[in-house]
Every structure is written in C-alpha cells, then in structure tokens.
Amino acid sequence: MARPDDPESRNARETRTGASAALDGLTCWVVTDGKAGMEIQCLGLAEAIGLPPVVKRIQVTKPWRWMAPGMIRDPLATLGPKGDRLAPPWPDLWIASGRQTVPLSRDMRAISGGRSFTVQVQNPVIDPACVDLVVTPDHDLLNAPNVLSTRGALGRVTPQRLEDAAAAFAARYAALPRPRIGVLIGGDNRVFRMTSAVMTRLTEQLARLAREQGCGLMITPSRRTGSRNEAILRKGLAGLPADIWDGEGENPYFGILGLADHIVVTGDSVNMVSEAASTGKPVQVVQLEGGSAKFGRFHGSLRAAGITRPFEGTLERWDYEPLAETQRIAAEIRQRLIDRHNRVEAQSA
C-alpha cells in the first residue's frame, strides 16, 4: 500500500507561501450523500489542504441507489431533486465519500473534461484506477499504486481547533473537578450493539470514577446512543459532577476533546476513536457487543502502536505520538495539485 512520505519533508520542498500561491483560485467540492461520518472526513481533508470546500449532498433516486456502481452508466441522470445540483463549472479538486458517490467520482474526470482531480475517501469497491487517488484506512487492506493508506479515519482535529474550542467551552465546564474525562458515546451500527447492559456497566464505571477519584465527566452521546441508553446514563450519574450534552445548542465535541485530561470512547466509531487519538491524550476504548474483522484490525493496530488502551473502569496515563493522518494525506494531495498546476503552466508557456 502506497504511503506518502513525511509531511514535514514534503513541506520543506515548497514553502507555505509558495504552496498557497499555487493553489490560489482553485475550487474544491466535498460530495457525499449527507452521512455525517463521511462528510467529516472529506471536510477535514479539504481544510487541511487549504481549499475552502463547497459541500454537495447528493440524492440518488430509485432504483439506481440499490445498484452496484459498475451498473450505472450515466450517474448524473440518477440524481434526484432533493439533493444538491451538480453542474459546471466543475471543481479543480473533487473529494467524495460513500457508495452513492462512486459512479460520479469514476466519471468526473471525463465529465469535467479533465479539470477535476478526483479523490475518493474510503474503499470505492471498484478499480481504484478509475479515480486519481483513493484514501482509505489500513484495515481495508486495499492495495494499488494510487491508494494512500491511513491509520484510522481522516478528521477535523487540529491543535488550533482544539485550542479554540477549549476556550469557547471553558465556562461551561469550569465547575467540573479535575481530572476531567471526555466521554464520547456512540451506539448501534451494522456490527456493534449498545445494549442496556453495556450502558449500565459504563455508567457504573464512570460514577465510580466521579465518586472515588473526584473526576469530572464531560459526556456527549450521539443520535445512535438511543433514548433508553441515555436515560440509564442520566439516572446513574444524577448528583455527580457530570455534564451530559442534551443535543441542544452548539455541539461541545471539540471543546470536550480540547479540555479533557483523559478520553473514554466507545469502539463502534472509527471516526471518534481516530479523532480522540489525534489529541495526544490518553484514549481508552469501551468495547460494545459485536464487532467485525475490519474493526478488529483497526483497534488492534492502535493498541499495538501504544495509542489506545481498553477501558475497564480505571484511568491510565501514557504518552504516544498523536495521529496526524489528515495532515499527512493533505500534504501529499497539496503537492500533487501543485505539480499538476506547474505542468499546466509549463505546457501553456
């Protein structure tokens, strides 16, 4: 699996000023079917490259949405009115993710007359050569010359974002004692189940840390957590130093990552675990019921690298090199865009 070289050495070849000048005026679209986990990865990549993204959320109509990408010959004709319109001028950089976007990514170089540099995030399950670059996690085991592999998922965590979010939410969590534990809770998906037994055990473990070690709890459930599990959480932590986000107002997710001394995260989300591991803070993972070979490879890789540890009700502290995969991949794509721009300039001279 191809891996770009270290971002710092790449950046040494081109100063930030020169890179910015070469990218000046280029446009970028982020294209998904609206699923948050996919969109976050694409947005994080676009932001790290340095191109303000235009977000396009598509809707593929029936029966096309059920068909394999290889069976769709005219992907623009499959798009419904509830999604965003895709029309010229086409972007210089096309970043897409999700099964519904694959036929579009496959054909975008031809549709745009060669203008669009196409990047597909996550395994497209077609020949990777159909796009310029595929960015996908190591645990997908995808091997091709134009595949850039990552340890975990891309994301939007940067030191500056964490610093800004910590300042924005400092007042909300000021009354909580330290150490403060950021708790990121997911829920059911295709391979994991957040059962009431799992939630009860997690709640009891968090309550014990608050009572016996004086920890403050900053908790953000997700929509997948479910009302029943959230009720277990709220009842079990009542009267303890715990702030549980209720879904109203601005999401404190980045603020929690920025302010936490420790992070506890459920293992059902590659995105959440990867973003937690991008902070450099101790990350302990809660095992839910279920799993898959892919998730097993992902979690095994992070544990073997000394990045994460299991959560069994006690806090641990250790050091590791924070994940910076988004910045590493962005540096490679930025350089490729610069090289492409320079070739076009040389040909037109």
Q: If pLDDT is split at 50, 70 and 90, which confidence band does 344 have?
A: confident
Answer yes or no: is pLDDT of 43 > 70.
yes
Domain shared by 147 and 166, yes or no: no
pLDDT above 70: residue 321: yes
pLDDT in tens, 273-293: 999 999 999 999 999 999 999
Does residue 72 surpass a pLDDT of 50?
Answer: yes
255 in a structural domain: yes
Domain assignment present for residue 320? The answer is: no
Q: Return the pLDDT at 20.
A: 57
Look at residue 106 and tell me if it is in a domain: yes
Closest Cα to residue 273, out of 252, 251, 303? 303
Query: What is the span of the domain harbouring residue 281?
Result: 159-310
Residues 135 and 207 in one domain: no
User: Would residue 204 count as lying in a domain?
Assistant: yes
Residue 107 sits in a domain whose CATH number is 3.40.50
Question: Are residue 74 and residue 200 in the same domain, yes or no?
Answer: no
Classify residue 316: in a domain, yes or no.
no
16 and 146, same domain (yes or no):
yes
Handedness of CA 121, 162, 324, 17 (dihedral sign): positive
Please give the pLDDT value at position 4: 39
Q: Give the C-alpha separation, 101 to 64, whole Å.
A: 12
pLDDT in tens, 110-148: 999 999 999 999 999 999 999 999 999 999 999 999 999
pLDDT at position 29 over 80? yes
pLDDT of residue 19: 52
Range list of H helices, the chain: 7-13, 16-23, 36-49, 102-111, 159-173, 196-213, 227-236, 253-259, 270-277, 293-304, 325-348
Say if residues 192 and 290 touch (Cβ distance below 8 Å).
yes
Residue by residue, DSSP assigns 234-294 as HHHTTTSSEEE--S-SS--HHHHHHH-SEEEEETT-HHHHHHHHTTTS-EEEEPPEE--HH
Same domain, yes or no: 62 and 190: no
Rounded Cα–Cα distance for residues 326 and 333 (Å): 11
Could you tell me if 207 and 248 lie in one domain? yes
pLDDT tens per residue, range 156-177: 999 999 999 999 999 999 999 9
Classify residue 58: in a domain, yes or no. Answer: yes
> Residue 8: pLDDT above 70?
no
Residues 14 and 139 in one domain: yes
- pLDDT digits 0-9 by tens, 175-226: 999 999 999 999 999 999 999 999 999 999 999 999 999 999 999 999 999 9
pLDDT at 172: 98
DSSP 318: -
Is 121 among the domain residues?
yes
**Same domain as 331, residue 305:** no
Residue 70 belongs to a domain: yes
Q: Are residues 39 and 79 in the same domain?
A: yes
pLDDT at 345: 74
Percent of the chain whose predicted confidence (pLDDT) is above 90: 88
Short-list 193, 184, 189, CA closest to 273: 184
> Within this chain, do residues 254 and 288 fall inside the same structural domain, yes or no?
yes
Prediction pTM value = 0.88
Mean pLDDT on 74-96: 97
CA separation, residue 304 to residues 4, 292, 297 (Å): 22, 18, 10
238-259 confidence digits (pLDDT tens): 999 999 999 999 999 999 999 9
Query: The domain that contains 172 carries what CATH number?
Result: 3.40.50.2000
For residues 57-75, give the mean pLDDT.
93
Same domain for 91 and 73:
yes
Number of domains in the chain: 2
User: Which range among 2-6, 102-106, 239-243 shows the weakest confidence by mean pLDDT?
Assistant: 2-6
Per-chain mean pLDDT for the chain? 92
Residues 302 and 343 in one domain: no
